[in-house]
Amino acid sequence: MNPRISVVALGLSAAIGFAGCQKVQELEPEPLKLAVPDHFPDPIFGTGETAPTAAGFELGRRLFYDPGLSVDGTISCGSCHAQVHAFADHNVALSTGVGGALGTRNSPALSNLAWYPTFMADGGITHLEVMPLAPLMSPVEMAADSEHLMSYLKSHPVYPRLFQNAFGGEPTGQRLLKALAQFQAMLVSANARYDQWALGQIDFTDTEQRGYDLFVAHCSTCHTEPLFTDFSYANTGLDSVSADAGRYRVTLDPLDHGAFKVPNLRNVALTRPYMHDGRLFTLRSVVDHYADGVIVHPGLDERLPGPLGLDEQQREDLVAFLETLTDYEYLANSQISEPR
């Protein structure tokens, strides 16, 4: 295993185990190293000013899994972003928020967010520290109001000390967002079979190799290695007129109607159902869409000229390649799981 690919490199012990002690500790200044795998580009977030600290990361981790942040104490970030599904929801098309409210988009898997220039299927959010505001405040997700949230954090038995330790002060909205961003920045998935192959450590099977070659020929213009997205927006011909305006909501450019951000495909075998509304239930059905389901219309992305017309073997090979993107170390990593 590549020694550089361990999610949290340094100093976590400084933050763990301190919650029980009464004395407020000095701010732990030691920065956490964001593990940048050898075959990855430089991240956008998590270095320099935004570098996570052990204390900030550990606070963010507690917050991520804490349903107490939601208006009725029932829904945490982790409710819709579950580690066993690579931080996607539990195989449901749409997620349930407070009071049983249903959202309108499929919960995406979360990984390698420190490399993301934009967030959401329409790219409406452009900074990892602003990102948590949307789910926290959304009436169909956590529906938190800031007054309730702040009094929850300030009167909590543990949080005031964790905020003190991480940021040298009491809980504030901005510190809450920074801590959540620090936790999310450390969600690095880079040890799938694909990565071991890319680093020359293993060979693909024949079917995986054929699938990879097809992927490079037909898919990687949008799902670019090694992050498996180029962060562009594309209309993939799911509908002739999309019910969800997609990127159009941000740009108001009619050509962007029904275009969505190219999703990161890491761990995709575990994140069904697929597409912005979760309409396709299996990886095979996604490949079938590209093979013969693409609707040709004026908005269709030019990088996808139409149905690819793949044969049975090619479809199986593509699915076999997509399955090499599963990173079992990421799924089992206790440093990013719900704190006990």
- Tell me: does residue 79 bind ligand HEC (CB under 6 A): yes
| Nearer Cβ to ligand HEC (51/245) | 245
- Which of 227, 260, 315, 333 touches ligand HEC (CB under 6 A)? 260
Identity at 264, one-letter amino acid code? N
- Of the candidate residues 318, 325, 331, 336, the single one contacting ligand HEC (CB under 6 A): 318
- Cα dihedral sign, 54-56-62-64: negative
Q: Which residues, other chains included, contact 300 with Cβ-Cβ below 8 Å and sequence gap of 6+? A: 235, 236, 237, 294, 306
Is 304:237 a contact under the CB 8 Å cutoff?
Answer: yes
Give SS3 for 13: helix
131 part of the interface to ligand HEC, by CB under 6 A = yes
The set of residues, in sequence order, having a beta carbon less than 8 Å from that of 192 and lying 6+ positions away, is 266, 267, 324, 325, 326, 327
Question: Contact between 167 and ligand HEC (CB under 6 A)?
Answer: no
Query: Is residue 132 part of the contact set for ligand HEC (CB under 6 A)?
Result: yes
Is residue 120 part of the contact set for ligand HEC (CB under 6 A)?
A: yes
| 97 lies in the binding site for ligand HEC (CB under 6 A) | yes
Q: Which of 219, 270, 331, 336 binds ligand HEC (CB under 6 A)?
A: 219
Q: Which is nearer to ligand HEC, 14 or 192 (CB)?
A: 192
| Other beta carbons less than 10 A from residue 84's beta carbon | 11
Choosing from 218, 247, 266, 315, the residue that interacts with ligand HEC (CB under 6 A) is 218
86 binds ligand HEC (CB under 6 A): no
DSSP per residue, 87-154: TB-SS-SS-B-GGG-B-SSPPPP---GGG-S-BSTT--B--TTTTTHHHHH-TTTT---HHHHHHHHH
| Residue 80 binds ligand HEC, judged by CB under 6 A | yes
Number of other residues whose CB lies within 10 A of the CB of residue 293: 15
Is the CB of 14 or the CB of 70 nearer to ligand HEC? 70
Inter-residue contact 98 to 145 (CB < 8 Å): no
Q: Is residue 271 near ligand HEC by the rule CB under 6 A? A: yes
Q: How far is the CB of 118 from ligand HEC (least distance, A)?
A: 7
Whether 84 contacts 158, CB under 8 Å: no
Q: Are 276 and 244 in contact (CB under 8 A)?
A: yes
Note whether 287 binds ligand HEC by CB under 6 A: yes
Region binding ligand HEC by CB under 6 A among candidate stretches 45-53, 149-157, 188-196, 262-270: 262-270
Task: State yes or no: residue 189 binds ligand HEC (CB under 6 A).
Answer: no
- Does 36 help bind ligand HEC (rule: CB under 6 A)? no
Q: How wide is the angle at C-alpha 234 spanned by C-alphas 120 and 326, nearest 5°?
A: 65
Judged by CB under 6 A, does residue 77 bind ligand HEC?
yes
**Taking the complex as a whole, how short is the minimal distance between the CB of residue 52 and ligand HEC, in angstroms?**
14
Does residue 114 belong to the site contacting ligand HEC (CB under 6 A)?
A: no
Among residues 82, 149, 234, 294, the one that binds ligand HEC under rule CB under 6 A: 234
SS3 category, 8: strand
d(CA 326, CA 309) in angstroms, rounded, equals: 26
Q: Are 5 and 35 in contact (CB under 8 A)?
A: yes
Report if residue 62 touches ligand HEC, rule: CB under 6 A: no
For ligand HEC, the binding residues (CB under 6 A) are 75, 77, 79-81, 95, 97, 103, 105, 107-108, 110, 113, 119-121, 131-132, 135-136, 141-142, 180, 184, 218-219, 221-223, 234, 236, 238, 260, 262-263, 265, 268, 271, 274-276, 283, 286-287, 290, 301, 303-304, 308, 318
